[in-house]
Each structure stands twice: as structure tokens, then as C-alpha cells.
């Protein structure tokens, strides 16, 4: 049987069921500037990619395309909305229990494309930060998911050769596999714990 040295978790959609919150925040921002965004388009094109790539996609939804630099000016307000709303939701207790359960046997990391400010406060508030060996966030790599760089950096920091990634997005799965990792693919946030435990048996 394969013995993994580490378990590497994506953040949005895995540690926290945050994608619906991201989506609702974007709707609040976009409605004032005339950009429409349905959930299907968001889930297929905006999850697991860089902030800049998401802004470019959103701007492409108007004819002519909306100015990306103008939309970028709204991004701090979107991030503030997200932090406020996620503060009321937080990390499910079962996720923290999973980290505590895995901690004695595996090195643990969070590997995300999100901004460190969005991630750090939530992990701290849930008491997960002390259980982690490292956090790789979007500002630390030149190439983001689906490139392998975020997972390669995590492996380097952890000093491990074998790890399994837990991902919910197409870009995230591609990134982990490009780094040579096995992947637990998460179809819904409420399946994280059962699927990770099954993969590690």
C-alpha cells in the first residue's frame, strides 16, 4: 500500500464551503456595473484560478469587454465582503477534527490560489493553523494552478516525496497531478472527510 508522508488541502471548497460565498460577493459587486454572472458560469470558469484570470473572465462577459483595471478597483471591496461573511460561517467542526486525526501520521498543508489575508484569518479562527506545517497562498508562486508550482512549493517546504492532494476544482486537480501527486477529487464540500479517510485507508 502507498504510504503518503503528507496531505495537502485546497482551501476554497475543501477546508471551507466558501465558493457560494465568493459567488454572492461577486454578484453584489457586478450588479452595479452591469455584468451578469450565473452560478454555472462561475463554477466552470472562476474556481481554482488566479484573481487576475477571474477578473479577465468577468470582463469578457460584456460587449465590448469591460475594462479589467476598472473592475480591479472593486476587488478590495469584494474581499472585505468575503471576509465579513465568512467570519460568520467559518470552518466546519468536522474539518478541524479531520486535521486533528491526521496530524499524528501526516504532515499537513493548505495550498490555495487565494489571498493570504482571506485564508489566514479563517484558519486562525478555526484553530487549524497550529495543526499545519505550511500554507502556500497565491502570492507565493509565479505560476498558479493549474500549473504545478503551488504543490511543488508545498512539497519542498515539507521536505516530502509522497503526498496526496485534496481538490475540488478542475484547475486544482490539474495542478496537483502535474506535480506528480495523487488526488482526492471533492464533488461537494460535505464529502471531504469521508473521501479523505477512504483514500488514506
CB of 34 closer than 8 Å to CB of 67: no
Task: Find, among 91, 135, 128, the residue nearest to 111 by Cα.
Answer: 135
Cα 150 from Cα 32, distance rounded (Å): 34
Read off the pLDDT of residues 17-49 as tens digits, 9 standing for 90 and up: 888 999 999 999 999 888 999 999 999 999 888
The CATH architecture to which 6-17+91-200 belongs is 3-Layer(aba) Sandwich (3.40)
According to DSSP, residue 37 is labeled -
For residue 6, what is the enclosing H or E element?
strand 6-9
**Residues 117/83, Cβ–Cβ less than 8 Å:** yes
Asked if 200 and 41 touch (Cβ cutoff 8 Å), the reply is: no
Rounded to 5 degrees, φ, ψ at 16 are: -130, 145
CATH of 19-87, one of 1.10.150, 3.30.300, 1.10.3210, 1.20.1260: 1.10.150
Ordered by start, the domain boundaries in the chain are 6-17+91-200, 19-87
What is the distance between the alpha carbons of residues 108 and 128, in angstroms, rounded to a whole number?
10
Residues of the chain short of pLDDT 50, as ranges, are none
149's enclosing H/E stretch is helix 149-158
Retrieve residue 131's grid coordinates: 495543526
d(CA 112, CA 115) in angstroms, rounded, equals 8
* pLDDT score of 1: 57
Q: What is the pLDDT of residue 32?
A: 84
Same fold, 6-17+91-200 and 19-87: no
State the Cα–Cα distance between residues 148 and 74, nearest whole angstrom.
29
Residue 34, pLDDT score: 87
Amino acid at each position: 500500500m502507498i504510504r503518503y508522508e503528507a496531505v495537502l488541502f485546497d482551501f476554497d471548497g475543501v477546508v471551507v464551503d466558501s465558493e457560494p460565498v465568493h459567488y454572492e460577493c461577486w454578484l453584489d459587486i457586478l450588479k452595479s456595473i452591469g455584468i451578469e454572472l450565473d452560478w454555472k458560469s462561475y463554477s466552470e470558469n472562476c474556481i481554482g484560478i488566479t484573481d487576475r484570470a477571474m477578473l479577465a473572465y468577468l470582463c469578457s462577459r460584456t460587449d465590448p469587454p469591460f475594462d479589467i483595471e476598472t473592475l480591479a478597483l472593486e476587488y478590495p471591496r469584494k474581499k472585505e465582503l468575503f471576509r465579513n461573511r465568512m467570519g460568520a460561517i467559518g470552518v466546519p467542526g468536522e474539518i478541524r477534527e479531520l486535521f486533528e486525526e491526521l496530524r499524528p501520521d501526516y504532515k499537513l498543508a493548505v495550498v490555495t490560489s487565494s489571498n493570504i489575508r482571506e485564508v489566514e484569518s479563517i484558519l486562525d479562527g478555526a484553530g487549524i493553523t497550529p495543526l499545519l506545517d505550511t500554507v502556500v497562498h497565491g502570492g507565493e508562486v509565479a505560476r498558479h494552478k493549474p500549473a504545478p508550482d503551488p504543490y511543488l512549493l508545498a512539497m519542498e517546504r515539507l521536505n516530502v516525496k509522497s503526498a496526496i492532494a485534496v481538490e475540488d476544482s478542475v484547475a486544482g486537480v490539474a495542478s496537483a497531478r502535474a506535480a506528480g501527486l495523487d488526488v482526492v477529487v471533492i464533488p461537494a464540500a460535505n464529502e471531504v472527510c469521508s473521501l479523505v479517510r477512504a483514500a488514506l485507508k
